Structure 1
Amino acid sequence: MPDPPVCVIVVNWNRCEDTLECLASLESSSYEKTRVLVVDNGSTDGSPQRIREKFPKIEILELPENKGFAGGNNAAFRHLRDTGAGYFFLLNNDAVVAADAIAMLVAAAESAPDIGVVGAKVLFADDPMTLESVGVAVNMRTGRVRQIGYGEKDTGQYSELCRRDAVNGCAMLIRASLVENAGPLDEEY
């Protein structure tokens, strides 16, 4: 089966340096079928121009105002609707990805047709051997949430695919058909 196309969505608002670092990491991706879209949420710091100068091949969708994380990603979903993407990879602009990250996430998603979202292992930038999150546990009785793995040293203890109540939104792969069937992200969040 051929590799499904992945649209990477990076939402930016006045954080150009972070976004440039994020985009530089995406250039090293081993997954070839990617299209990167930066959604600029009405930045006033010259972000779109600086991103175009550094990454002229990357597409930028400029919004007139800050629509937040959900609104920016929803604008991207609408913009990318008819691209034939198999997946959307939502990536925070202050995240840096390993070269094999997208390939690993796609392999996990492709391993079972009922997987709609795959979350990445998130490490602290200033201590890349320490976990920030490998998913979220939700206590359905109290509504309390907990980042699984937070503060633990990464020794491979969370390297196997497993189900979680939720994933960390800073780096998540979403099956395009899920977006189509479930609808957009809740912009009230």
Structure 2
Amino acid sequence: MTLPLVTAVVPTRNRCQTTLRFLAAMAGQTYRALRVVVVDANSSDGTVAAIRRQHPQVTVLAAGDGDFWAGATNRGVRRALAAGTDYVLTINDDAVVPADYVERMVALAQRHGCGILGSRIDLLAEPGRIWALGTRTDWGTDRFLRLSHHDELASRLDPALATAEVLPAEAMPGNGVLIRREVFGRVGLYDARWLPHYHADSEWVMRAVRRNVEAWVTPGVVVLNDFGDEQKRLPLGSLRGLLFTFFHPKSHLYLPAVALILWRYCPPSQRWPTLRALAGRFLRMKR
């Protein structure tokens, strides 16, 4: 039986050792029908040369400074689809995964017919503490693209959740998401114009769900995320910091991205209550 071809798409910039750690994990995967495409955004730390020297089988594409996550990922997805992949795996260069990670994800996706299957994401510093099991939004409140089960211990999840092979999701982070190629034909690529970095992953899944593509996450297959909450902490104490917070594409409060998601997906009757709730949340952050 021929295995479905999986292509991992990995954006990176100036994280040579982190990227090499990830590629070593990919090289050790038990799933053999696996290709890796690294999309490098003008790294100046020798990333590209190191990849070509240590992992010559990996495809390296060049991205521009303005591509950010969505633009870089789109470049990799286009290359993967053109090369005939059956699945695209979007995953970050700082992800840490076990050797059977891809094999288990493909098995679950095939068993349950998942066009979109996200991983559970735990903190690398504390495996078993969940960073995200999908994301959700409660319109009319300040719970906008909140990480589901964030900071919960996996051992304390409701048994019905913990033992489920897959769970329905309305959105999810893009770190460790297996996507069948046909889904891109129905949904398109990530919206790099309006959501260049944060929330492009969740918006794409929301768009897919709106187009009747079911999205799922699995609590049993884990990506360890080399990430701390301090990395999303914003400089709110100065005018320059506020400008970054609301107008820099690498801020998770980047106004064009937040506004677009509100406009596209929030029920009209809930837009004003949601805006009011988000404004209150921001004011609490400033204290």
Q: Deviations over 1:19-44 (max 9, x none)?
A: 11111111221111100111111212
Q: Secondary structure at the match of 1:21?
A: helix
The match for 2:175 is 170
Q: Whose strand proportion is higher, 1 or 2?
A: 1
CA distance in 1, matches of 2:140, 2:85: 37
* Contact 2:80–2:88, Cα closer than 8 Å, also in 1: no
The match for 1:58 is 58
The match for 2:108 is 108
CA distance in 2, matches of 1:159, 1:41: 39
Tell me the amino acid that sits aligned with residue 124 of structure 1: L
> Per-residue deviation at 1:64?
4.1
* Contact 1:5–1:87, Cα closer than 8 Å, also in 2: yes
The match for 2:45 is 45
> Per-residue deviation at 1:149?
2.1
CA distance in 1, matches of 2:96, 2:27: 11
The match for 1:186 is 191
- Percent sequence identity is 29
CA distance in 2, matches of 1:30, 1:66: 35
* Contact 2:128–2:153, Cα closer than 8 Å, also in 1: yes
CA distance in 1, matches of 2:10, 2:18: 11
CA distance in 2, matches of 1:55, 1:105: 23
Tell me the amino acid that sits aligned with residue 178 of structure 1: V
* Contact 1:42–1:66, Cα closer than 8 Å, also in 2: no
CA distance in 2, matches of 1:30, 1:125: 21
TM-score, normalised to structure 1, is 0.90
Tell me the amino acid that sits aligned with residue 90 of structure 1: T
Q: Whose helix proportion is higher, 1 or 2?
A: 2
CA distance in 1, matches of 2:149, 2:40: 32
> Per-residue deviation at 1:185?
0.4
| Paired residues for 1:1-189 under 5 Å | 2-113=2-113, 115-142=114-141, 144-155=144-155, 157=157, 158-160=162-164, 161-187=166-192, 188-189=194-195
CA RMSD of aligned residues (A): 1.8
CA distance in 2, matches of 1:116, 1:68: 25
> Per-residue deviation at 1:156?
8.2
* Contact 2:115–2:183, Cα closer than 8 Å, also in 1: yes
Shift >4 Å, 4+ stretches: none
CA distance in 2, matches of 1:140, 1:89: 29
* Contact 1:37–1:59, Cα closer than 8 Å, also in 2: yes
> Per-residue deviation at 1:146?
2.1
* Contact 1:7–1:88, Cα closer than 8 Å, also in 2: yes
CA distance in 2, matches of 1:64, 1:184: 17
Q: Deviations over 1:117-143 (max 9, x none)?
A: 111111111111211111112214446
Q: Deviations over 1:156-182 (max 9, x none)?
A: 843421101112211111111111221
* Contact 2:135–2:171, Cα closer than 8 Å, also in 1: yes
* Contact 1:88–1:175, Cα closer than 8 Å, also in 2: yes
Q: Deviations over 1:55-85 (max 9, x none)?
A: 1221111224341111011111222222221
Choose 1 or 2 for highest CA Rg: 2
CA distance in 2, matches of 1:132, 1:28: 25
Q: Secondary structure at the match of 2:95?
A: coil
Q: Which runs of 5+ in 1 are unaligned?
A: none
Tell me the amino acid that sits aligned with residue 26 of structure 2: L
Q: Secondary structure at the match of 2:37?
A: strand
CA distance in 2, matches of 1:99, 1:87: 18
CA distance in 1, matches of 2:179, 2:163: 19
Q: Secondary structure at the match of 1:177?
A: helix
